[in-house]
A = this chain, B = another copy of it.
């Protein structure tokens, strides 16, 4: 269903994404350890919100509704009820109607499309804020928390690291089918870090990833799964980061944009979205992202655009193999041909369809609830030419995002465009 009323990106912000290996991340070997603390979940919500309002250049009172994207605040930070946290994030927010939405790693994308629906319903200026703090617990406990995005009762026992195991399972099937190689996976990883090294907000901005490091299992890059069947198909370097961070976007209707004295020609239009879910019990076919494929079909249909129109993409590379499947789900390659695009360099900054230009979940980082919002902000920033050292040349006019929850059980695909 096409949008009844045009929607524009009025303002946005992304905080630094930090965690292990980021120079500012405070841990036991950091000189500030014991003196300073890393920002909290509440801090990230407030930081991203205030920066987005400043970017929009509006009075906070203009915001009619707000949505917080977060997956597991009640686990990592002992804090749920994040609509009320947002109500305390700005002095002019008390009383406003805010809520939290959740769809695992797609929580951020869901927050944005909730804002789009609210605008269609007449709440003409809305904010979506995403945040996650995951560094409060160790990796094994964190992996247990994140397994609540899978079918916990039936899938938790696969491996202490349930999600890496679920995607190692996909990698194995794809390799056995002969459509993805270990080298393809390494290429995705090296591109991610190379892009992140140009991005001052990226979690891994300071980490140099060589082709050899990405390609080789070693003490520094172990195969860390315990599951014997799948352990050969996942190395640390193949994974997205355990990051803290936040992102926010303010969307508004065309009439609100004009009321606020802005010229639509200066702004990026949010053209359409697709949203789909599949049963938590898991996918029927491990060689495709069928829920994302369905979400993409809906977004294309509602926008009147197709894969060939897309000039930049942010896709959900929770693991390197997922990025390859995403290329197929979004229609950039046929089934089984995604890796060919990677091999040909078409997804790099100067390729025909640059993908994850700021480093993706693998190297920009993956503060879960923020990710879906960050993706949309990144595409908007590419269209506006605001991406600095990782700006795609001749700023693209049209872009797409794909934000996925669990093992492709929730997917949100969005399309953004600027006409002028």
- The segment from A76-84, A203-211, A254-262, A315-323 that touches chain B is A76-84
Contact B84 A148 (CB under 8 A): no
Minimum distance in angstroms from A384 CB to a CB of chain B? 26
Within 84-141 of A, Cβ neighbours of B (below 8 Å) are at 84-88, 93-104, 110, 114, 116-118, 120-123
B contact residues around A281 at 8 Å (CB): 88
CA–CA, A198 and B110, complex, Å: 41
- The segment from A22-30, A47-55, A332-340, A402-410 that touches chain B is A402-410
Contact A148-B4, Cβ < 8 Å, known A121-B121, A409-B84 = no
Number of copies of chain A assembled together:
2
Q: Which residue in chain B gives the minimum CB-CB distance to A81?
A: B104
Q: Which of B118, B123, B276, B277 is within 8 Å of A86, CB to CB?
A: B277
7 closest A-B pairs by CB: A88-B279, A120-B121, A97-B275, A84-B409, A87-B277, A81-B104, A84-B280
CA–CA, A122 and B86, complex, Å: 28
CA–CA, A382 and B62, complex, Å: 39
Q: List 17 A-B contacts (CB under 8 A).
A: A1-B122, A4-B121, A4-B122, A77-B152, A80-B148, A81-B103, A81-B104, A81-B406, A81-B410, A84-B405, A87-B278, A88-B278, A88-B279, A93-B279, A94-B279, A97-B275, A102-B102
Q: Which of B1, B99, B145, B277 is within 8 Å of A83, CB to CB?
A: B277
A44 at the interface (CB under 8 A from B): no
A393 at the interface (CB under 8 A from B): no
Contact B276 A80 (CB under 8 A): no
Contact A148 B74 (CB under 8 A): yes
The listed residue with most B CB atoms (<10 A of its CB), out of A93, A96, A279, A409, is A279
B contact residues around A87 at 8 Å (CB): 277-280, 409
B contact residues around A291 at 8 Å (CB): 95
Contact B80 A104 (CB under 8 A): yes
CA–CA, A115 and B194, complex, Å: 43
- Interface residues as binary, A43-82 with B (CB distance below 8 Å gives 1, 0 otherwise): 0000000000000000000000000000111110111111
A153 at the interface (CB under 8 A from B): yes
A312 at the interface (CB under 8 A from B): no
CA–CA, A80 and B132, complex, Å: 15
Q: Which residue in chain B gives the minimum CB-CB distance to A276?
A: B95
CA–CA, A103 and B73, complex, Å: 12
The listed residue with most B CB atoms (<10 A of its CB), out of A78, A156, A406, is A78
Contact B280 A85 (CB under 8 A): yes
Q: Which of B100, B121, B277, B278 is within 8 Å of A102, CB to CB?
A: B100
CA–CA, A85 and B83, complex, Å: 23
Contact B84 A410 (CB under 8 A): yes
CA–CA, A85 and B154, complex, Å: 13
Within 378-410 of A, Cβ neighbours of B (below 8 Å) are at 405-406, 409-410
Within 144-171 of A, Cβ neighbours of B (below 8 Å) are at 145, 147-150, 152-153, 156
A242 at the interface (CB under 8 A from B): no
CA–CA, A78 and B141, complex, Å: 13
Contact A98-B277, Cβ < 8 Å, known A117-B121, A120-B120 = yes
Minimum distance in angstroms from A274 CB to a CB of chain B? 8
CA–CA, A114 and B115, complex, Å: 10
Minimum distance in angstroms from A16 CB to a CB of chain B? 23
A247 at the interface (CB under 8 A from B): no
B contact residues around A100 at 8 Å (CB): 101-103
B contact residues around A42 at 8 Å (CB): 280
Contact A102 B122 (CB under 8 A): no
The listed residue with most B CB atoms (<10 A of its CB), out of A77, A96, A99, A148, is A99
A325 at the interface (CB under 8 A from B): no
Contact B78 A152 (CB under 8 A): yes
Contact A277 B97 (CB under 8 A): yes
